[in-house]
Amino acid sequence: MKAIVKTSQEAGVFEVKEVPTPKPGRGEIMVQVKAASLCYTDVAILNNKYKGRRPVPIPIIMGHEGTGVIYELGEGVENVSVGDRVGLEVLYGCGSCVNCLNGNSNMCANWRHIGITYNGIFAEYVVVPSRAAHKLPDNVSFVDAACLEPVSLTVRTLMQVKPLVGDTVAIFGPGAIGLFHLQAFKAAGAGQVIMIGIDQDAKRFETARALGADHIVNSNKEDVVKRVRELTDGFGADIVVETASSPVVIPLAIDVAAARGRVSLFGLYPEATVSPLTINRSGLQIFGDVGSLPRYFVTAIRWMKYGKVKATPLANRLFRLDEAKDALEAARLGEVAKVIFEL
């Protein structure tokens, strides 16, 4: 089968090549991949900048966000059938430790993650545990379903920050995660959503406007804190979401928050610094987490079923696996908000 493989410890080196087709073991399924999407984590792994809890084995088939049709069942699988259209969870706990038993499998010390601890989904076929597969509603396309994992992280944010109708929301980073949050907060009744980015985000700003962003703030041209304060009558944003992939954004995210504001941080930046004094004086709630959970994933499917969040507006071009270099360049230049491979 054809796959995108990181073949070397050298940064940026990968090949689109033929590799053996995997076979499902007991409790596993083999899925014929129909669509898969590129994540910032994939780019970080490719460029040796991934700051995860475990080293990534090399070589490895890349990618973890995707969807497809069940092609073959391993022994003992009864919860799904061949031919089912499925979205795929990407992180699995051991199922028996304290964290897993408490419903926090993303905190499992023995976690497994597709495309990080074992071969991923940028391939014609992928093998995953059967419990990772969730049947798709008929009206959810494969292109949309390829983004269920990042949408599930958006679900996580909203469950944490508990938005109220009329809240002002500031989002740092008009990439895919930021744009999924924009759609979700608009659906939840946000009073206004402010999208913050840089010069390189010009095309993504257009997508943000089309999806309902009330204000666009370009940090290369404006003082972000001053502008957000102006747009919120001097109070700051009730909710701030940081998805900008830059450690310099973390202090800004804190500074634009209103008193008693809720701040959700996505970045994995050990070099970022934040003053506890600022947090305490403003009575801020800071939310951090990593990975998704089954309850977030099934809610993401419902959001897509009812048209509350969609991926298709973010993918103005679809790519083939053998166009991986073009896809990575389009992502780097900000020409597409979300790279999606269609197989």
Domain residue limits, the chain: 2-147+311-342, 151-288
For 185, which DSSP code?
Answer: H
> pLDDT tens, 282-330?
999 999 988 899 999 999 999 999 999 999 999 989 999 999 999 999 9
Q: What is the mean pLDDT of residues 188-213?
A: 96
What phi and psi values does residue 339 have, to the nearest 5 degrees? -80, 125
Alpha helices, DSSP H only, in 188-267?
202-210, 224-231, 249-255
**Mean pLDDT, rounded, for 239-248:** 90
Q: What is the pLDDT of residue 191?
A: 96
Closest CA to 163 of 235, 239, 261, 228: 239
Q: Is 197 helix (H, G, I), strand (E, B) or coil?
A: strand
**Percent with pLDDT over 90 in the chain:** 84
Q: How far apart are CA 241 and CA 173, in angstroms?
A: 9
Residue 275: band (very low, low, confident or very high) from pLDDT cuts 50, 70, 90: confident
> Tell me, what's the pLDDT at 99?
95
pLDDT for position 311: 95
Residue whose structure tokens are 């990439």: 175
Confidence grade of residue 174 (pLDDT, cut at 50, 70, 90): very high
Assign 334 a pLDDT band (cuts: 50, 70, 90): confident
Instruction: Return the CATH superfamily for domain 151-288.
Output: NAD(P)-binding Rossmann-like Domain (3.40.50.720)
* Contact predicate 6/311, CB 8 Å: no
Q: 136 in helix, strand or coil?
A: coil
The yes-or-no verdict on residue 245 having pLDDT over 90 is no
Of 93, 312, 285, which is closest to residue 183 (Cα–Cα)? 312
Looking at the predicted structure, is the pLDDT value of residue 270 above 80? no
Q: What is the mean pLDDT of the chain?
A: 94
Element containing residue 340 per DSSP (H, E): strand 340-342
C-beta of residue 63 within 8 angstroms of C-beta of residue 90:
no
φ, ψ for residue 270 (rounded to 5)?
-65, -20
The whole-number pLDDT of residue 145 equals 97
pLDDT tens-digit readout, 25-76: 999 999 999 999 999 899 989 998 887 777 899 999 999 999 999 999 999 9
CA distance 300 to 338: 17
Measured in degrees and rounded to the nearest 5, phi and psi for residue 43 equal -65, -40
142: nearest Cα among 291, 31, 294: 31
- Predicted local confidence at residue 75, as pLDDT: 96
Q: Which CATH number fits domain 2-147+311-342: 3.20.80.10, 3.90.550.10, 3.90.180.10, 3.30.2130.10?
A: 3.90.180.10
Query: Is the backbone of residue 182 left (phi > 0), alpha (psi -120 to 50) or beta?
Result: alpha
The answer for 236, left when phi > 0, alpha when psi is -120 to 50, beta otherwise, is left
Cβ neighbours, 10 Å, residue 79: 13
Q: Over 80: is that where the pLDDT of 268 sits?
A: no
Confidence at residue 316, expressed as pLDDT on a 0 to 100 scale: 86
User: pLDDT grade, residue 246 (50/70/90)?
Assistant: confident
What pLDDT sits at residue 223?
97
Pair of tokens at residue 232: 């919120």
Q: Check for a shared fold between 2-147+311-342 and 151-288.
A: no
Q: Which amino acid is at 63?
A: G
Would you place residue 247 in the very low, low, confident or very high pLDDT band (cuts 50, 70, 90)? confident
